Structure 1
Amino acid sequence: MPETTSGGMRISYDDAGTGEPALLFLPGWCGSRRVFTPLATQCAAQRRTLVLDWRGHGQSETPNGDFGASALVDDALAVIAASGAKRVVPVALSHAGWVAIELHRRLGSQVGKLVLLDWILFAAPPPFLEALQALQDSMRWQQTREQLFAMWIGGLAIPELSYYVREDMGSYGFDMWSRAGREISAAYAQATSPLHALATLKPPVSVLHLYAQPDSPDYLAAQQAFSAEQPWFQVRTMPARSHFPMLEAPNEMAAAIEEFISASP
Structure 2
Amino acid sequence: METLVLDGNPIDYDVTGTTGPTLVLVSGWCQDHRLFDHVLPLLAENHRVIRADWRGHGAVRSVEADFGPAEQAADVIKLMDALGVDRFVPVSTSHGGWANMEITDRLSPERVPGSVVIDWIMVEAWPEFVQDLRDIQDPELWLAGRQRLFDFWLGGTAHPAVARHLDDEMASFDFDMWARSCRVIENAYATWGSPLRRMAALKVQRPIAHLFSQPSLPDYEAVQREFASANPWFRPHRIPGQTHFPTLESPAVLAGLVEKFAASVGR
Q: TM-score range by the shorter chain?
A: over 0.9
Cα contact 2:69–2:102 (8 A) shared by 1: no
C-alpha distance 212-145 of structure 1, shift in aligned 2 (>3 A):
same
Match of 1:69 in 2: 69
Question: Unmatched 5+ residue regions in structure 1?
Answer: none
Match of 1:166 in 2: 167
Q: Aligned letter for 1:13? A: Y
Residues of 2 paired with 1:8 and 1:96: CA distance?
22
Q: Aligned letter for 2:230? A: E
What is the Cα deviation at residue 220 of structure 1?
1.0
The question of 1:82 aligning with 2:82 is answered: yes
C-alpha distance 216-64 of structure 1, shift in aligned 2 (>3 A):
closer
C-alpha distance 173-17 of structure 1, shift in aligned 2 (>3 A):
same
- What's the CA shift string for 1:101-135, capped at 9, x where partnerless? 11112112211101000011121112111111111
Cα contact 1:35–1:247 (8 A) shared by 2: yes
Percent identity (aligned): 38
SS at match of 1:169: helix
- What's the CA shift string for 1:157-216, capped at 9, x where partnerless? 221111110111001121011100111111111111111111122331210000112245
C-alpha distance 202-72 of structure 1, shift in aligned 2 (>3 A):
closer
C-alpha distance 200-67 of structure 1, shift in aligned 2 (>3 A):
closer
Number of residue pairs the alignment of both structures matches: 265
- What's the CA shift string for 1:197-240, capped at 9, x where partnerless? 11122331210000112245621111111111110000111132
Q: Name the Cα RMSD after superposition.
A: 1.7
Residues of 2 paired with 1:264 and 1:102: CA distance?
19
What is the Cα deviation at residue 65 of structure 1?
4.2
Question: Unmatched 5+ residue regions in structure 2?
Answer: none
TM score, norm. by length of structure 2: 0.93
TM score, norm. by length of structure 1: 0.94
Q: Aligned letter for 1:172? A: F
What is the Cα deviation at residue 20 of structure 1?
4.9
The question of 1:150 aligning with 2:138 is answered: no
C-alpha distance 61-243 of structure 1, shift in aligned 2 (>3 A):
closer
Match of 2:131 in 1: 130
Match of 2:224 in 1: 223
After the TM superposition, which residues 200-215 of structure 1 pair with which residues of structure 2 at under 5 Å, given as runs?
A: 200-215=201-216
Cα contact 1:5–1:78 (8 A) shared by 2: no
Residues of 2 paired with 1:82 and 1:41: CA distance?
24
Structure 1: which 4+ aligned runs deviate by more than 2 Å? 18-21, 58-62, 64-71, 214-217
Q: Aligned letter for 1:186? A: N
Q: Aligned letter for 2:232? A: P
Residues of 1 paired with 2:254 and 2:218: CA distance?
20
Cα contact 2:6–2:78 (8 A) shared by 1: yes
